[in-house]
Amino acid sequence: MTVTAERAAPAVQAPHPARARLGFAGLMVLLALTTLFVVGLAVSFGSVRIPVGDVWAIVAHRLAPGAFESWWSQARESIVLDSRLPRALTAAAVGAALALAGAVAQAVTRNPLADPYLLGVSSGAGFGVVVVTVLGLGVGALGAFTIPVAAFLGALVPLFLSLAIGGRYPQPTAVILVGVASAQVFSALITFSILVVADEHQLSSVMHWLAGGFGDSRWSTAIFPAVALGTVGAAMMLSASRIDLLQAGDDGAAALGMNVRRFRVLQLLGVSMLAGAAVSVAGGIGFIGLLVPHLAGYVVGARAVRLLPVAAFLGAIAMVAADTAARSVARSIEVPVGVVTALVGAPIFVWMLYRQYRRAEQ
C-alpha cells in the first residue's frame, strides 16, 4: 500500500499592523516629496530656465532672510516668487481638491463614473463668469477677485437647487438628477450668451476660461482652493471611516447608526464646495477628479482612510505636471490645461476600464 504524504501549505501571515502603517506612512512621505519635486520642476521650466536648486534657494532665502548670501538676480527672484511659484501651488491645490472631491463623490454615490462636477458646479461657475464678462454685471467690483468670486457664486446656484429640490427625496439619485438638469440649463445659458451677446474679445476670454488654465494665477487667487482644501478637505478625511460604511450598502450603514441620507447630502455638499473653489480659479478641467481616484484605488485599495489622502497627492502631482506640459508644448501660445488632461486622461481611463472588465470576464 502506497501512502501519499501531502505537505501542508504554509499559512499566509497578515502583515503586522505596525509594518502596514509604516508602509503607508512611507508612501505618503514619497508622495509628498514627489509633489515638492514636481512643483520645483514646474517653477524651473519656462522661457527663462532656472535650476531647481536655485528655485528652492530663492524660496528658502525668502522664508529665512539673511540666512545666506544670494547669488541670483532680482529678475529671477521675481519670476520664481511672483509668477511661477504661485501658479504651481495653485495648480497643486486645485488638483488635490478635484481628486479628493472625485474620490468622495464616487464613494458616497457608489458610482465609479461620478466626478466633482456631479451637481452642475462647472456649468454654474461658467455662467457666473459669463455674467461678469459678457453681461458686464459687477465687472471690476472686487478687482482681481471679481472673476473667481463670480465663478464661485455661480457654482453655488446649481448646488442649492440640487439640495433644495432633490434633497427632499430619500433616493440619492434625486439630488444627482437635479444637478444634471441644472448643468444642462446653465450650459444652454452659456451658449446663448456667447452666440447672441458676446463680442469677439469676450468670446475669446470666456472660451479660454472654460477650457481651464492657470495663466492668471496669483498668490491672491490661490486662497480659494487652499482654504477649501484645508477646511472641507480636512473634514472629508476625518469622516473617511464613515464613508467606508457606505460600501456595505445603505441598509448596512443605517444598521450601524448612520443617518445615510444626511451624511450623503453633506458629503455631496463638500464635493461641490471643493469643485466650486477649484473651478473659480482654474475653469473647467476634466478627468482629474474622474481618473485620479481610480489610480489611487489601484495603489492603496478602496478604503477611504487611505484612498482620500493618496488621491489628493496624486491629483496635485497630475495637475502640476499637466500645467507644466500645457505651457511647454508651444512657445507662442499656452495650451489650455483642460485640453492636456483630456488628451492624456481619456486614453488612460479607457485602458483602465478595459483591464477592469477583462479581469471581470476571467
Measured between alpha carbons, how far is 64 from 326 in angstroms, rounded to an integer? 33
Residue with cell 484605488: 297
Strands, E, within 99-173: which ranges? none
State the residue for C-alpha cell 464613515: 242
Give per-residue pLDDT as tens, 84-119: 999 999 999 999 999 999 999 888 888 887 888 878
The CA-based diameter of the chain, rounded to the nearest angstrom, is 97
pLDDT, tens digit (0-9, with 9 covering 90-100), for 6-15: 444 334 344 4
Q: Number of helices (H) and strands (E) in the chain: give both, helices first.
A: 16, 0
- For the entire predicted model, the pTM comes to 0.85
Q: Does domain 35-353 have CATH number 1.10.510.10?
A: no
Alpha carbon distance 197, 2 (integer Å) = 93
Nearest to 324 by CA among 86, 96, 52, 41: 41
Amino acid letter, residue 328: S
> Per-residue pLDDT for the chain (362 aa), expressed as one digit of tens each?
444 444 443 343 444 444 455 588 889 999 999 999 999 999 998 878 888 888 888 888 888 887 777 888 888 888 898 889 999 999 999 999 999 999 998 888 888 878 888 788 888 888 888 888 887 766 666 666 777 888 888 888 888 888 788 767 767 677 788 888 888 998 898 888 888 877 777 777 777 777 788 888 888 888 889 999 999 999 999 999 899 888 877 778 788 788 888 888 888 888 888 888 888 888 888 889 889 999 999 889 889 999 999 999 999 999 999 999 988 876 667 788 888 888 888 888 788 777 777 776 76
Residue 72: all three cell numbers together: 541670483
